């Protein structure tokens, strides 16, 4: 796995940890209303999915870091498999996000573009 692939995987992992914090702990903050398309009256209703998605993103970040660590410790095939799967998964999820809610096109780009680039780097 190339150095560029490993660096991008770690950068995406850090982004996912940031999203984890926003979704799991800061989803009530007014600055995040546009990002999540929420309003204060929605908080009780969305708490379950925001926390769930936040921890999903945390485990995905962990998978990316684990993939890089495996690759750097002579388990290249296993590490690459984790990175490729995670990149493909987030590419697919970005498409689902924009198809299910067009207003979230920027969120989909922020999720999908780095994932596509990582996928291309990881499979080459």
- pLDDT band (50, 70, 90) for residue 83: very high
Q: Would you state the pLDDT for residue 35?
A: 75
Burial of 81 (0-12, 13-18, 19+ CB in 10 A): middle
| 69-88 average pLDDT score | 97
Q: Domain boundaries in the chain?
A: 3-123
* pTM for this entry: 0.88
Q: Would you state the pLDDT for residue 46?
A: 79
Q: Pick from 8-12, 47-51, 53-57, 105-109 the range whose average pLDDT is largest.
A: 8-12
For the chain, the average pLDDT equals 92
Per residue in 111-120, pLDDT (tens digit) is: 999 999 999 9
Per residue in 27-71, pLDDT (tens digit) is: 788 887 777 777 888 888 878 888 898 999 999 999 999 999 999
Q: pLDDT above 90 covers what percent of the chain? A: 69
- The torsion angles phi and psi of 37, rounded to 5 degrees, stand at 55, 45
Q: Which residue has the higher pLDDT, 28 or 100?
A: 100
């Amino acid at each position: 796995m190339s150095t560029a692939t490993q660096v991008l995987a770690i950068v995406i992992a850090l982004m996912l940890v940031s999203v984890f914090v926003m979704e799991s702990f800061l989803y009530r903050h007014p600055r995040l209303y546009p990002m999540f398309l929420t309003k204060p009256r929605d908080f009780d209703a969305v708490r379950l999915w925001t926390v769930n998605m936040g921890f999903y993103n945390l485990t995905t970040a962990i998978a990316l870091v684990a993939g890089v660590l495996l690759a750097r410790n002579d388990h290249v095939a296993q590490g690459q498999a984790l990175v490729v799967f995670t990149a493909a998964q987030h590419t697919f999820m970005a498409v689902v996000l924009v198809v299910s809610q067009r207003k979230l096109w920027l969120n989909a780009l922020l999720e999908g573009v780095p994932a596509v680039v990582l996928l291309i780097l990881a499979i080459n």
